[in-house]
């Protein structure tokens, strides 16, 4: 058993030395409804590779997104004569939203809040295997931020109007005073209103 573990260890080291996959940005931050690009870079030590298989998965919800395969390559590596067959298979949930760009990078359109989380790419060749993870952060849209501020200000205006300053109160014209009391009492109330006395007083 110990010998098997040693052999497996050296196999993984050799595979990692022959192949690398690195996220170019992590985390990736976008606004709602924007397009997210989970950019990765793939490097094969052996440029004469003939096949590789890419799988993107939304780890947070354990949802497969797509499978991308490059095979049947012909021609000298690094030349214009080099041609390969490319095929992509999308999960039904991502039919209109996901695609592959720039080697094996994931493009996710019309991002929603529920798309936030961890994504994983797995790349497998004839003798290599590697994985990388990218975190996607989804922020509130720019359009939603400005109206929210406007609503807050709109809510503040009535409060300010309901609590006028003392100077504003004094500047307002006196309201007419009416009463069902006898004329002498009404006259007293009129005097109090005219004099601008805010305290409660009794007419004698």
Instruction: Give the model confidence (pLDDT) of 8-50 as tens digits.
Output: 333 333 344 477 899 999 999 999 999 999 999 998 887 777 7
Over residues 169-180, mean pLDDT: 43
Rg of the chain over CA atoms, in angstroms? 36
pLDDT, position 74: 86
Q: Which of 46, 22, 28 is nearest to 104 (CA)?
A: 22
Q: Please determine, for residue 89, whether its predicted confidence score (pLDDT) is greater than 50.
A: yes
Question: Rounded to two decimals, what is the model's pTM?
Answer: 0.61
Mean pLDDT is highest, among 60-69, 100-109, 136-145, 156-165, for 60-69
Cα angle, residue 123 at apex, residues 128 and 53 outer, rounded to 5°: 95
Q: What fold does the segment set 18-142 form as a domain? A: Immunoglobulin-like (2.60.40)
Nearest to 135 by CA among 115, 156, 165: 115
Numbered ranges of CATH 2.60.40.10 in the chain: 18-142
Average pLDDT over every residue of 94-115: 94
Lowest-pLDDT range, 141-145, 161-165, 196-200?
161-165
């Amino acid at each position: 058993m110990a010998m098997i573990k040693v052999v497996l260890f050296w196999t993984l080291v050799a595979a990692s030395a022959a192949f690398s996959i690195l996220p170019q940005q992590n985390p990736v931050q976008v606004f709602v409804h924007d397009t997210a690009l989970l950019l990765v870079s793939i490097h094969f030590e052996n440029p004469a590779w003939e096949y590789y298989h890419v799988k993107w998965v939304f780890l947070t919800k354990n949802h497969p997104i797509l499978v991308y395969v490059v095979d049947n390559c012909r021609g000298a590596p690094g030349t214009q004569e080099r041609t390969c067959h490319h095929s992509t298979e999308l999960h039904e949930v991502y039919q209109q939203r996901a695609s592959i760009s720039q080697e094996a990078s994931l493009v996710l359109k019309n991002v929603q809040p529920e798309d936030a989380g961890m994504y994983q790419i797995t790349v497998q060749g004839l003798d290599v295997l590697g994985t990388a993870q990218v975190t996607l952060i989804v922020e509130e849209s720019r359009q939603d931020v400005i109206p929210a501020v406007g609503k807050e200000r709109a809510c503040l205006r009535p409060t300010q109007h309901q609590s006028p300053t003392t100077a504003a109160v004094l500047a307002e014209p006196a309201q007419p005073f009416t009463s069902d009391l006898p004329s002498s009492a009404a006259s007293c109330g009129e005097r109090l209103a005219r004099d601008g006395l805010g305290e409660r007083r009794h007419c004698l």
